[in-house]
Amino acid sequence: MSIRRTLVHALLCATLLPVAVRAAPLPDAIVGDWSTKEEKSVLRIERDGATFTAAIQRLKVPDGPSGTPKLDHMNPDSSLRTRPVKGLVILRDLRYDGDGIWSGGRIYDPESGNTYRCKVELEGPDRLRVRGFIGIALVGRTEIWRRAGKGAGISP
């Protein structure tokens, strides 16, 4: 093989390698357990047909001041204020858009009782950028969730 042909092959490989490395994640890349900001809770993201949901699996402080399980006391629907926070589905209807982005979902904040539109971006295998917003994505709040390990320091 000539030196020229070898150089062309090397250049072609060097050009295509970054494209192969940056391949978009699969839709199920977010499935699993994630620790929220300050490790207040661990959420489990699961596929539900064509969408994704997340439920609270563990809480850093699982009980309220009286020693009973934390309840959804801030819910705007008074009939739901007695349900436990642990096990609560807080993220619904998230759809994979491609290129490591999921959108179209709704996320519920049990600390405020508010529900927001939601967009999620996978920033690496163990880092998830979660944006809750009202109306347009410019008006909202972003949290970074990290993939949870078994020793996340959060009560089972």
Query: Which domains does the chain carry?
Result: 28-147 (2.40.128.520)
55 exposure class (CB count in 10 Å sphere: 0-12, 13-18, 19+)? middle
The structure's pTM equals 0.79
Whole-angstrom distance, CA of residue 64 vs CA of residue 62: 7
pLDDT tens, residue order, the chain (156 aa):
556 555 445 544 454 544 444 566 799 999 999 999 889 999 999 999 999 999 999 999 988 888 899 999 999 999 999 999 999 999 999 999 999 999 999 999 999 999 999 999 999 999 999 999 998 778 899 999 999 985 444 544
Q: Output the pLDDT for position 4.
A: 53
Q: Output the pLDDT for position 9.
A: 53
Contact 119, 111 (CB under 8 A): no
CB atoms within 10 A of CB 10: 10
